[in-house]
Amino acid sequence: MSIPKLPGQVTACLFDLDGVLTHTASIHAKAWKEMFDAFLKGRAGGEGVAFQPFEIATDYVTYVDGKLREDGVRSFLASRGIAIPEGSPDDSGDMDTINGLATRKNDLFHTVLERDGVTVYQGSVDFVKIVRDAGLRRAVVSASKNTADILEEAGLADLFEARIDGVTAAEQHLAGKPAPDTYLAGAKALNTDPANCAVFEDAVSGVQAGRAGKFGYVVGVDRVGHADTLKENGADIVVSDLSELLVES
């Protein structure tokens, strides 16, 4: 019989979704690249400047991964010295505004998701089930506004007692990762002190959020070969899959 290998004070677990439990992080990355490359090509053609593509290995990891959608747009464009209007949340995907680009990216994400479906990291899903069976509290904390749909598609919705996502962040005016607000909301939803919560994250911004919120244990999940970066930004331990945190009783 397997049991979770976690510090004794941990009574609740807060899981990021994309890249920790599901393979959807790669879909997000591809959608971001397609959206930004089209935008940058159009801008280069109109202003006569060289086209510099969006790089998943650097730009996605540094400026976008784990953040609320609009924050990701702002962060990347600022890194290129590009300023565009903010727009409004109902901007369509053909508008060159912060909200318009965020909408365009989400449309691309749904196109790929509907075509390919959701694949889970089975070892990590098994870990969540064992955590549940051990009596620990569980919440999913994601920047994605698509979290509810992804959980249903993947058959994971019943594993969690609470969901804090991009929709929640907008409704409650929560700052996105690397601010700790969404994880703190997850702890509050489970009526658990942050010191007694473990955070499970694959994004640098999410690990930073876990450390900033003074959570009891921050687990980095390295799917792309950046274990050192996760450790440098606050992970107490880094694993390639949550199944590594299971031991036989």
Last residue of a domain, one of 116, 146, 180: 116
Same domain, 15 and 35: no
Residues 108 and 144 in one domain: no
Tell me: do 186 and 213 sit in the same domain: yes
- Do residues 65 and 54 make contact, with C-beta atoms less than 8 angstroms apart? no
Residues 42 and 54 in one domain: yes
Residues 236 and 148 in one domain: yes
One domain, residues 189 and 127: yes
> Are 231 and 150 found together in one domain?
yes
pLDDT tops 80 at residue 238: yes
Digit-coded pLDDT (tens) for 22-47: 988 788 888 999 999 999 999 898 77
Q: Is 241 a catalytic residue?
A: no
Please say if the pLDDT value at position 249 is more than 90: no
Same domain for 16 and 136, yes or no, is: yes
Domain's final residue, options 83, 101, 116: 116
> Considering 18, 65, 165, 181, which one is annotated as catalytic?
18
Residue 75 CA to residue 58 CA, distance in Å, equals 13
Residue in 16, 65, 165, 222 annotated catalytic: 16
Q: What is the mean pLDDT of the chain?
A: 94
Residues 123 and 232 grouped into a single domain = yes
Name the domain boundary from 116, 139, 156: 116
152-197 per-position pLDDT tens digit: 989 999 999 999 999 999 999 999 999 999 999 999 999 999 999 9
pLDDT tens column, 208-232: 999 999 999 999 999 989 999 999 9
Do residues 78 and 144 both lie within one domain?
A: no
Residue 49's domain comprises 26-116
Distance (Å, rounded) from C-alpha 18 to C-alpha 112?
15
Looking at the fold, whether 238 and 227 belong to one and the same domain comes out as: yes
Number of domains the chain is built from = 2
Q: pTM score, two decimals?
A: 0.80
Residue 25's pLDDT is what? 77
65 a catalytic residue: no
CATH number at residue 236: 3.40.50.1000
Q: Which DSSP string do the residues of 74-93 spell out, in sequence order?
A: HHHHHHTT-------TT--T
Same domain (yes/no): 143, 222: yes
**Residues 11-21 pLDDT 10s:** 999 999 999 99
